[in-house]
Amino acid sequence: MTLSATRPSIRVTDLRKTYQVPEREGGLRAAAGSILRRTSRSVPAVAGISFEVEPGEIVGFLGPNGAGKTTTLKMLSGLLYPTSGEATALGHVPWRREPDFLRRMTLIMGQRNQLAWDIPVVDSFELNRAIYGVPRDEYAERLKELVELLELGDLVRKPVRNLSLGERMKCEVAGSLLHRPEVLFLDEPTIGLDVTMQRRIRAFIAEYNARTGATTLLTSHYMADVEALCRRVIVIHHGVLLYDGDLAGLVERFSPRKTISIDLEAGQKPPDAGWLAELAGGPDAVVQHSAERLTLRVLRSETAAVTTRLLATLSVRDLVVEEPPIDEVIDLVFAAGPGSDVESERAGATR
Amino acid sequence: MTLRLGRLPAVYAAKFRAEIALQVAYRGALVIWLLGLLIEPIVYLVVWTTVARGQGGQVGGFAAGDFAAYFTILMIVNQLTFTWHFHFFEWRVRNGFFSPMLLRPVHPIHNDVAENLTFKMLTFTVVGPVALFLLATFGATLHPEPWHLIAFVPTLVLAMVLRFLLEWTLALAAFWITRTVALNQAYYVAVLFLSGQVAPLSLFPPAVQAVASVLPFRWMVAFPVETVLGRLAPGEVLAGFGAQLGWIIVSLVLMRVIWRAGIRRYSAVGA
Amino acid sequence: MRSLGLIWLSLRLGVLNALQYRADFFIQLFQSLVGLVTALAAVALVFGQTDELGGWSRDELIALVGVFLLVGGLINVVIRPSMEKLMEGVRLGTLDFTLTKPADAQLLVSVRQVEVWRLIDVALGTVVIVIGIARLGEQVGPERAVAFGLVLVAGVAIIYSFLLILSTLAFWLVRLENILVIFGSMYEAGRWPVGLYPPWLRVALTVVVPVAFAITVPVETLVGRLEPMTLVTTVGLALAFLVGSRWFWKFGLRHYTGASA
């Protein structure tokens, strides 16, 4: 079944999810009181999110813990009913959990196993095959392909308890793709894995998407996942969509400053602090100021001018102009919350 | 463990407060454990009162009303003496919860004592009323003389101490055996029969009664019940105290020895 | 048809899983024998003081012990372990995986886990039943055997439904991991004929925790005490319980996935 290229694979309109969380204070009296009465408060996990995903896209949901990314993913995979709002995936309403929808999607959760613990992985795969109704010859073919792509080798013949964490994750991924789903929901897939394994899993996801054109939604709080895989990033914080676009745009919008690092030639008079501050646009723009090295954080629009002046005035051995590390940008985004962007930064800069 | 004895009361007070909060939070689970404790005496109460009525009023010196009294008091004494550490020690060690306990400046046993006493305090609030209900419903005959009641208290306290010490010591087998479930069950069956929970010990064949008096199980549960029901002469009660104290000493010695050996093994094998 | 295939495959997987632990066979054998001796010793103790208990003879009670073991074994092979796994799945979040599969969730969770060595209890129980019946000198003709089979299946179906309802409560009471212990405790009361108990307890053991239907009624069938009305009631109740527990399961799932508040 092919989807027309113009129809979105996933469409979300003003999706909301509010939880009722029981709460209680510490201490003996509160404990006794809670036997009879229970107070709870409403926690909005997702507070009105809208977006569309085209078939074949890989979209990364970025946000700190508790931002609402996993809740969004659970609603789209049919595990959770929203409090209000609409969504369709592959033409189905996910939370109706129609078998037709479930057969065409898959959910992979980091650090959670669905494979049976004590028996060879391949036996668990057999059960999945039966559940999804995959014909034997297709199954054999796909298994071969996945074993090759994930470099599983003989691992599938071992019981899960004999595998390392990374090997386990690879097998989980393989088992989840035996039915060739058209949509992949990945919830923190690389969490807890070592760096090499994280890279392998990322590479696999990209390869799988290239080969099959499966729409992929993944949540992560690792910047590296998103950087490596996703052309499109959706930033969620406090249940609200802060940004939807590509990574470069994210950096530009939320971090208006670039970093200039200069190694100075030895033996010259160190530049005056006051002059530096004025040039860079404020005393806090000077990150480091020593005889050998200068580091300045300068507004984008000023970068060229400041660089020129520095090169003209000082004897420079080396000069580097960098975007701030994306992690830092994300920290800024999360710390500031909704409504934070270049404008307010600028306003703060010109005091 | 180097902890000045003077600090112990403060530690216990704090531990009690924490445990009460914890167990109240898990009150649902408490109710369920409680049900398990209560069902058994009720079942045997029904069985034996039926037997007594069927045999023309009494069996082995027990009328229906006597059985009702016996099993109800037994239920109370069982609830006040019972421990669960034999079952859960292995789980605790296997899942790595034991190591943190060793790092605290208090012997782990104090933690378990506090936990145990808190559970008993909380569940007694339910067991007490249930006992009264049973006494009324099944027409229990209870006419204790004053000295029965006075003697009951020390027998009960000693029984609590004895059962806790012995079962805690047996729980230390977890240091050597990874699946203690078979051991648990063998112990549980021994306690079931020889502490008078299936039937009053006087209904057993004489040979079994002799064995039961030599083993510690009678002194953990049946003895306080027999005392308060007035089924023992003063001399027998005093002899019983002796047996309880004797077994407590044995348990203490065993505990020290096994604990030291167990800790050595635990540290050698690795947490 | 596909459902049957899934059940078979899942059970096969569970058995393979359980067979990994060969030591468990000996542990279970020991436990079963201890359980058997305990039950028979209690009966011996009682019948050392009397010839009949509430109208039941010693050999009838032996047959009861046999049925107690047999039914216990049947419940502990698949039903109880799977329900425990279900509650664990709710706690750990692995139930989510089951819910994203295109197969009936109740089916998948009900045959999830197998403790294959519990079949020892089934074997022991059968042996004890045969001994008890032989000692009674009762003739168990084909009619009675069929009735026994029917009542047994109905009884197990009632217990399964009951345990499913208890486990579904885990959706609301996540912290009640030991909720199945309620059943275990009440099941112990089934060692003796339910008719012995005072009316209020009998009601509890029939309606609240349907132990009576699992044990006392099958024994009554075997020893010829069964009234036809009881047979009809048992089968009818089994159907009602199966339907009711499925409804409750779906209700629980809706709550778990946040459909109802």
Over residues B238-262, the pLDDT tens digits come to 999 999 999 999 999 999 999 999 8
Nearest 5°: the CA angle C232, C238, C240 is 100
Give CA–CA dist A341/A333, Å, rounded. 8
Residue C105 lies inside a defined structural domain of this protein = yes
A36 — contact with chain B (CB < 8 Å)?
Answer: no
Please determine, for residue B69, whether its predicted confidence score (pLDDT) is greater than 90.
Answer: yes
Are A118 and C2 inside 8 Å of each other by CB?
Answer: no
Lowest mean pLDDT among A94-108, A175-189, B254-268, C194-208: C194-208
Whose structure tokens read 């779906």? C250
CA distance C182 to chain B (A): 6
Nearest to B27 among A27, A28, A35 (CB): A35
Give the pLDDT band of residue A43 (cuts 50, 70, 90): confident
| Residue B46 with chain C: CB contacts under 8 Å | 192, 196-198, 201
Give CA–CA dist C209/C220, Å, rounded. 19
Helix (H), strand (E), coil (C) string for chain A: CCCCCCCCCEEEEEEEEEEEEEECCCCHHHHHHCCCCCEEEEEEEEEEEEEEECCCCEEEEECCCCCCHHHHHHHHCCCCCCCEEEEEECCECHHHCCHHHHCCEEEEECCCCCCCCCCEHHHHHHHHHHHHCCCHHHHHHHHHHHHHHCCCHHHHHCEHHHCCHHHHHHHHHHHHCCCCCCEEEEECCCCCCCHHHHHHHHHHHHHHHHHHCCEEEEEECCHHHHHHHCCEEEEEECCEEEEEEEHHHHHHHHCCEEEEEEEECCCCCCCCHHHHHHHHCCHHHEEEECCCEEEEEEEHHHHHHHHHHHHHHCCEEEEEEECCCHHHHHHHHHHHCCCCCHHHHHHHHCC
* B139 vs A6: which has the higher pLDDT: B139
Are A35 and B24 inside 8 Å of each other by CB?
Answer: yes
Cβ distance C169 to C176 under 8 Å? yes
Are C52 and B43 inside 8 Å of each other by CB?
Answer: no
Q: What is the CATH number of domain A10-251?
A: 3.40.50.300
Residue B1 lies inside a defined structural domain of this protein = no
- Taking a contact as any Cβ pair under 8 Å apart, which residues of chain A between 65 and 124 contact chain C? 74, 77-83, 95, 97, 99-100, 102-103, 105-107, 109, 112-114, 116-119, 123-124
End-to-end CA distance of chain A: 60
Q: What is the pLDDT of residue A59?
A: 94
- What is chain A's mean pLDDT, rounded? 84
Domain ranges of chain A: 10-251, 255-349
| Residue B21 with chain A: CB contacts under 8 Å | 26-28, 31
B199 — contact with chain C (CB < 8 Å)?
Answer: yes
CA distance B33 to chain A (A): 18
C30 — contact with chain B (CB < 8 Å)?
Answer: yes
Strand partners, A243: A235
**How confident is the model over A149-162, as a mean pLDDT?**
90
Cα dihedral value C172, C176, C180, C185, nearest 10: -130
Lowest mean pLDDT among A115-124, B155-164, C174-183: C174-183
State phi, psi for A144 to the nearest 5 degrees: -60, -45
* C143 vs B248: which has the higher pLDDT: B248
Structure-token pair, residue A130? 């039966």
Could you tell me which of A262, A240, A245 has the C-alpha nearest to residue A306? A262
This prediction has a pTM of: 0.84
Q: What is the pLDDT of residue A298?
A: 87
Give the pLDDT band of residue A350 (cuts 50, 70, 90): very low
Are A26 and B21 inside 8 Å of each other by CB?
Answer: yes
Give the pLDDT band of residue B18 (cuts 50, 70, 90): confident
- Domain of residue C151 covers 2-256
End-to-end CA distance of chain C: 36
Give CA–CA dist A315/A268, Å, rounded. 8
Please determine, for residue B187, whether its predicted confidence score (pLDDT) is greater than 80.
Answer: yes
- Domain of residue B25 covers 7-269
Please determine, for residue A8, whether its predicted confidence score (pLDDT) is greater than 60.
Answer: yes
Judged by DSSP in three states, B163 sits in helix
| Residue C185 with chain B: CB contacts under 8 Å | 35-36, 39-40
Q: What is the pLDDT of residue C163?
A: 94
ipTM, two decimals: 0.88
**Could you say which DSSP state residue C251 is in?**
H
Strand partners, A172: none
Q: What is the pLDDT of residues C50-108, one digit of tens each?
A: 889 988 999 999 999 999 999 999 999 999 999 999 998 988 888 999 999 999 999 99
| Residue C189 with chain B: CB contacts under 8 Å | 39, 42-43
Q: CB burial class (10 A; 0-12, 13-18, 19+) of residue A328?
A: middle
**CATH number for domain A255-349, candidates 1.10.287, 1.10.405, 3.30.70, 3.40.50:** 3.30.70
**How confident is the model over A129-157, as a mean pLDDT?**
92
Give the pLDDT band of residue A344 (cuts 50, 70, 90): very low
Please determine, for residue A2, whether its predicted confidence score (pLDDT) is greater than 60.
Answer: no
Q: What is the pLDDT of residue B221?
A: 94
Q: Find, in chain C, the residue whose alpha carbon is nearest to that of B41.
A: C189
Q: Which of A322-336, B31-45, C69-83, C203-217 has the highest mean pLDDT?
A: C69-83
Judged by DSSP in three states, C138 sits in coil
Cβ distance B45 to B67 under 8 Å? yes
Q: Find, in chain B, the residue whose alpha carbon is nearest to that of C47.
A: B51
C21 — contact with chain B (CB < 8 Å)?
Answer: no
Lowest mean pLDDT among A59-68, B1-10, C164-173: B1-10
**How confident is the model over A253-273, as a mean pLDDT?**
82
- Domain count for chain B: 1
Residue C261 lies inside a defined structural domain of this protein = no
Residue B130 lies inside a defined structural domain of this protein = yes
**How confident is the model over B63-91, as a mean pLDDT?**
91
- Domain count for chain C: 1
How many CB atoms sit inside 10 A of residue A317's CB?
A: 12
Are B59 and C49 inside 8 Å of each other by CB?
Answer: yes
Are B189 and C38 inside 8 Å of each other by CB?
Answer: yes
Beta pairing class for A232-237 and A84-89: unpaired
Q: What is the pLDDT of residues A306-341, one digit of tens each?
A: 899 888 888 889 999 887 777 777 777 777 655 544
Q: CB burial class (10 A; 0-12, 13-18, 19+) of residue A144?
A: exposed
At position C94, the amino acid (one-letter code) is T
